[in-house]
Amino acid sequence: MGMDFSTLRTLISRYCAGEENWVDSRTIYIGHKEPPPGTEAFIQQRFPDNRIVSSKYTFWNFIPKNLFEQFRRVANFYFLIIFLVQLIIDTPTSPITSGLPLFFVITVTAIKQGYEDWLRHKADNAVNRCPVHVVQHGKIVRKQSRKLRVGDVVLVKEDESFPCDLVLLSTSRDDGTCYVTTASLDGESSHKTYYAVQDTKAYNTEKEVDAIHATIECEQPQPDLYKFVGRINVYMGNESVARPLGSENLLLRGATLKNTSYIYAVAIYSGMETKMALNYQSKSQKRSAVEKSMNAYLLVYLCILISKAIINTALKYVWQADPNRDEPWYNHRTETERQRHVLIRAFTDFLAFMVLFNYIIPVSMYVTVEMQKFLGSYFIMWDDEMMDEELGERAVVNTSDLNEELGQVEYVFTDKTGTLTENNMEFIECCVDGHVYVPQVICNGQVLPDAVGMDMIDTSPGPDAREREELFFRALCLCHTVQVKEEETVDGIKHGIHQGKSTSFYISSSPDEVALVEGMKRLGFTYLRLKDGQMEILNREDEIEKFELLEVLTFDSVRRRMSVIVKANTGELYLFCKGADSSIFPRVVSGKVDQIRARVEQNAVEGLRTLCVAYRHLSPEQYEEVCHLLSDAKLALQDRDRRLAEAYDLIEKDLILLGATAVEDRLQEKAADTIESLHKAGMKVWVLTGDKMETAAATCYASKLFRRSTQILELTTKRTEEQSLHDVLFDLSRTVLRQHGDMTRDTFSSFSGDCTDYGLIIDGATLSAVMRPNQDDLNSGNYKEIFLEICRNCSAVLCCRMAPLQKAQIVKLIKASKEHPITLAVGDGANDVSMILEAHVGIGIMGKEGRQAVRNSDYAVPKFKHLKKMLLVHGHYYYIRISELVQYFFYKNVCFIFPQFLYQFFCGFSQQPLYDTAYLTLYNISFTSLPILLYSLIEQHINMDILKKDPTLYRDISKNSLLRWPIFIYWTILGVYDAIVMFFGAYFLFDNTTFTSNGQLMTTNTQMMFGNWTFGTLVFTVLVFTVTFKLALDTHYWTWINHFVIWGSLIFFVVFSLLWGGIIWPFLNYQRMYYVFMQMLSSGPAWLSIILLITASLLPDVLKKVIWRSLWPTTTERIQSADKLYEGQLSEFTPLASLHGPPKARTSDPQRNGSNPRRTNWCCLCANLLSRNTP
């Protein structure tokens, strides 16, 4: 009964305690120890184990789950229905003809998906079996990670990763801190400081830690990496002390311990409840424009199929209306069939015709496309030009489903820091009271000897300013969160930090901070270390100065500043504050504001990152008040962040301005060249950054996003304060539309000289106003449309002061616009992940901000410059190849099945198949599949070097131009024409027949046995050769493997036909093809007929291409023709600009004996001959 009351008391106190009103919480007993009697009830909760599961299938559910997922695909489900119909009713073809291709497609796809899932299982097992050290009964016990339980006390050593989410109890450092990198979580490779619980930080051995008697109450797991609210109750005898727990006490799974020998911590979230697991975003399935076109074409062909079946069913009953034609004498229907209702008979016939014509739907196209995408993705990974020697990294393909989308990009959204720039900060200068200081030597984190001098750009400061100058240098040496590596091994020799001014190794969460501290070192003030709460710096006189670090007011992106409160040896208390100019200037009450502001603006225009530094003297009374404010805020369990922000706001005021700093983040190699190429290719490039406007704009000029002739339009907070947002938007709209009228910039090159080039700059605050307009303003509903109209008419857009979510909103806004353009997002940090996931194609840069962007992207490249080849070359090739693949598949299936449709008019609509079962089954699987698969993997219609040299060729394939309806209709009409030629050509060949003495029907003109299987085999032979030659004519890039596969597949067809009809197969009940193929080939006229029919089928397409290339060539076709003339050396010797106009006449060279043997196309050569003789 006592236990019941205790439980009730616990529940009441937990849920009804005012500020501590937690609706959903958990209690963890450290070391699984019960709390002392009378304190609270021991309610052991059940938590999941520490296994991580990223796999999709298990051994038991793989087959049913995979089959279910595959048959959700329309084409697969359709063929399953056809297969079942063939099994249920009497159909003209064997169920094998549909079942075997379907089985092949399903099996290949299942093997691919099973292999990928097996790799995921393998990775999961490697993680789950990783050893961890757990404290049990005062001893260290080794366990597998998956056996870890919530409440276990874990020992983690330096450079080890945390096995689950842990609350830090104690560390090897006396101050109870440890340093951690969270690169695998949030992409930040910098070191962060975490703090042990105040009451347990002194416990440093296994036995001491095992003696801790405490419970932790905290929120249930949630995915926010930066939020954690809890409290720890430490029991001392029968009394307990409660301490608040925050995100600074929580070590997350996947993070790594750095610069700390060991830590002890208790597990609070395990397995799939860890924040890392909760942040596994199940990426929404992205579908390419090509796949959408495929599905649309599939629906058209399904309608054609149904139409054919309905027409044939209707004509069958019209034919049979005449009693004399009811049915042949040898095929009397049974009485049961005669008595069946006419609608049932008609429906059965309709299904039979559906089965007969179902091959017009190319089921094998899907598996061919899957294989093409999977195998084709390796060309990106194998590309040596996309490998970075410095990083030792190659390009990575995380999904192969979007390869062709790389050739369709219209908008590129890129981050700035670490993507366009190197994220490698270099200290340039500092300005103190208007005097500018530039270090003699500075080199990206490398401390060089004899680099202590200063160069005064302006007039030297007077004696009175000397004190403020040194105060500024001290402020930068003290106001940071930089840690010092105690010693660093260089060439096997350990160099200590106290060896005069030798090398020191600084670590920080911000590259800017490291650059500033190293810059101060060049200027004579060296930060040494933080020890026992004392910050030590070495001044110009080589004297060590000590300051007691009292408080750190940490940096956050809302305040955009940080502060420290320190106490000098003299007893003076200082508040040093540094931050963005926009957050410091409003809080300054004195100092040379105008001079410093002018220097800051000048540096920002030059593209430098600027920070302002200020200070404030604190009296002991003021410090007491500060301590009280911070203490109250830190102990709050509810709204802790808000109360801390309010406290910081009250403390950081009445500041005295000291000066400003300038740090440079250099552009990546060839970033400007890449952006220029993307512009020429017709893509619009937007830069989305959290940086300030002036700095970002300078970077945009340096990277050639904006040119000097670009007219900059501003849509910023500064402007909307002067005018209403409504007026600003309409002013900008009138400005851009005055030049262009209703024509957007999509219709012409952004490099044309007869129009003004516009660039737009917008900031995060104004974007929020555009996206979320005031409901009271009736005119505000169309702000988004006006904003989009302005953007469409700008060649480049810069969005500054952007939050990560706003980046995704921008991408989503453009995606949803009426043109539905294809978007690509590229970034390197965790703050770019939402943008990368939102875009059609997401690309991660392997920069210094960890691997989160890379892991969440579809593709990853080492540097921004590799984007050029990925889009202009690989994307171009992928799109060309898969477009031909899709159109060719539909074409060859029309050629295949239309003769079957025509045949029904000559066999009384009796559903008699034209082709043998083996031919029906193997046509798409064997006879015609490999040539198109190989074409779609290695075809290069233009030399790779030319594609890189002339980005405008990318425009020829933009907006899904090769899969538009006119081209699709042309391919379909071509297929119908070829089918008519094949069928009626063979039909007229058999037109004159006579009986032989032994009763056989022979054709007079060919002396060949006449029968429906001979007729079908002749048509099928012409068909296989025609569609294969058609692909050969379309091939520009010939290699030995092309010859092997194309001619090899034809030889395979002939050999198979000879064997299939030349041997009596014991497993066949009847062999209707016996000796048919050999008897057909024994006739000379049949050979001539085959050649003539193939020529007649291919001739119109060849003539059309020759004429079109001669009279209306595209840029691509001009370059192909020129490449033949220059024997494949066009990329090295010819100015490509000359090829964009009409081709010039060339004098025929009698010495030429053909073009580059690797790059030959017959249509191209014919067109070339015509154009060479054009005046």
pLDDT surpassing 60 at residue 824: yes
- Give the rounded percent of residues in the chain with a pLDDT score beyond 90: 18
Which of 556, 548, 562 has its CA nearest to residue 623? 548
Residue 383 burial (C-beta neighbours within 10 Å; 0-12, 13-18, 19+): middle
Q: What are phi and psi of 41, to 5 degrees?
A: -70, 145
* Contact (CB, 8 A) for 408 and 960: yes
HEC readout, 992-1050: CEEECCCCCEEECCCCCECCHHHHHHHHHHHHHHHHHHHHHHHCCECCHHHHHHHHHHH
Task: Locate all alpha helices (DSSP H) within 148-205, ordered by sequence.
Answer: 183-186
Helix pair angle (342-357, 74-88), 10° resolution? 130
Rounded Cα distance between 358 and 367, Å, is 17
In this prediction, residue 190 carries a pLDDT of 63
Reduced to 3 states (helix: H, G, I; strand: E, B; else coil), residue 434 is coil
Residues labelled catalytic: 415
Q: Is 733 helix (H, G, I), strand (E, B) or coil?
A: helix
Q: Judge whether 545 and 657 are in contact, CB under 8 Å.
A: no
d(CA 979, CA 816): 42
Rounded CA-CA distance 1001/1079 in Å is 14
pLDDT at 442 exceeding the cut of 50 = no
In this structure, what is the dihedral angle of CA atoms 12, 16, 21, 26, given to the nearest 10 degrees? 0
Give the pLDDT of residue 169: 92
Residue 435 belongs to what H/E stretch? strand 435-439
1120, 1164 contact by CB (below 8 A): yes
Q: Is 462 exposed, middle or buried (0-12, 13-18, 19+ CB in 10 A)?
A: exposed
Which residue in 432, 426, 429 sits closest to 474, CA to CA? 432
User: Which two three-digit tokens encode residue 556?
Assistant: 């956050």
The mean pLDDT of 638-666, rounded to a whole number, is 85
Confidence class for position 108, pLDDT limits 50, 70, 90: confident
Tokens 């670009």 appear where? 710
Phi–psi pair at 1128, nearest 5 degrees: 75, 5
Q: pLDDT tens-digit profile of 1011-1035?
A: 677 888 889 999 999 999 999 999 9
The mean pLDDT of 934-948, rounded to a whole number, is: 89
List the Cα angle 1105/1109/1111 in 5-degree steps: 120
Other Cβ atoms within 10 Å of 764 Cβ, number: 20
Rounded to whole angstroms, how far apart are CA atoms 83 and 102?
9
| Interatomic CA distance for residues 313 and 321, integer angstroms | 13
Please give the backbone phi and psi of residue 761, each rounded to the nearest 5 degrees, phi first. Answer: -120, 125
Q: Give 201-229 pLDDT, tens digit per residue.
A: 888 888 888 888 899 988 888 877 777 88
Tell me if residue 620 falls in helix, strand or coil: helix
Mean pLDDT, the chain, whole residue set:
79
Q: Which positions ≥6 away from 911 have C-beta within 8 Å?
A: 91, 92, 349, 352, 353, 356, 904
The residue with tokens 């299942």 is 110
Most confidently modeled range among 110-119, 257-266, 497-506: 257-266
The total of other beta-carbon atoms located within 10 Å of residue 688's CB is 28
Asked if pLDDT for residue 110 goes beyond 50, the answer is yes
Q: What does the pLDDT average to over 874-902? A: 92
SS3 of 916-964: the string is CHHHHHHHHHHHCHHHHHHHHHHCCCCCHHHHHHCHHHHHHHCCCHHHC
CA distance 340 to 65: 41
Distance CA 978, CA 1097 (A): 5
Mean pLDDT is lowest, of 101-110, 611-620, 675-684, 877-886, for 101-110
pLDDT at 1154 over 90: no
Band (449; pLDDT cuts 50, 70, 90): very low
Choice between 510 and 77, residue whose per-residue pLDDT is larger: 77
% helix / strand / coil in the chain, to the nearest 5? Answer: 50, 20, 35
What is the mean predicted confidence (pLDDT) over 595-602? 88
**The tokens of 123 are what?**
């990775």
d(CA 157, CA 430): 40
User: Across 43-172, where does the E strand assignment appear?
Assistant: 131-136, 139-144, 153-157, 165-171
Q: For 418, left (φ over 0), alpha (ψ -120 to 50), or beta?
A: left
Q: Output the CA torsion sign for 442, 445, 450, 451.
A: positive
Q: How far is CA 337 from CA 330, 341, 911, in A?
A: 16, 9, 17
Q: At what angle do helices 693-702 and 593-605 cross, to 10 degrees?
A: 30
DSSP one-letter string for 791-835: HHT-SEEEEES--HHHHHHHHHHHHTSTT---EEEEESSGGGHHH
Task: Evaluate if residue 559 carries a pLDDT over 80.
Answer: no
Q: How would you classify residue 900: left for phi > 0, otherwise alpha for psi between -120 and 50, otherwise beta?
A: alpha
What is residue 263's predicted lDDT score, i.e. its pLDDT?
93
pLDDT digit string (tens) for 641-652?
Answer: 788 888 888 888
Phi and psi torsions of 828, nearest 5°: -120, -10
Tokens of 1014: 């001979």
d(Cα 865, Cα 843) in Å, to the nearest integer?
Answer: 12
Token couple for 788? 């989009």
> pLDDT at position 402, please?
85
Closest CA to 367 of 112, 117, 114: 112
Distance CA 985, CA 991 (A): 10
Residue with tokens 């600074």: 248
Structure tokens at 234: 């430490």
pLDDT, tens digit, for every residue of 139-188?
Answer: 889 999 989 999 999 999 988 989 999 999 999 887 788 888 876 665 45
Cα(263)–Cα(170) distance, rounded to whole angstroms?
Answer: 6
Distance (Å) of CA 797 to CA 439, 693, 783, 950: 36, 12, 17, 24
Query: Structure tokens of 1132?
Result: 């090295």
Report the percent of the chain where pLDDT is more than 70: 80
Contact between 1168 and 1104 under an 8 Å Cβ cutoff? The reply is no
Residue 114 has pLDDT above 70, yes or no: yes
| Cα 727–chain centre separation | 38
The CA-based angle 1154-1160-1162, given to 5 degrees, is 90
Q: Which of 876, 856, 1008 is nearest to 946 (CA)?
A: 876
**Confidence category of residue 325, pLDDT binned at 50, 70, 90:** low
Which residues is 1148 bridged to in the sheet? none
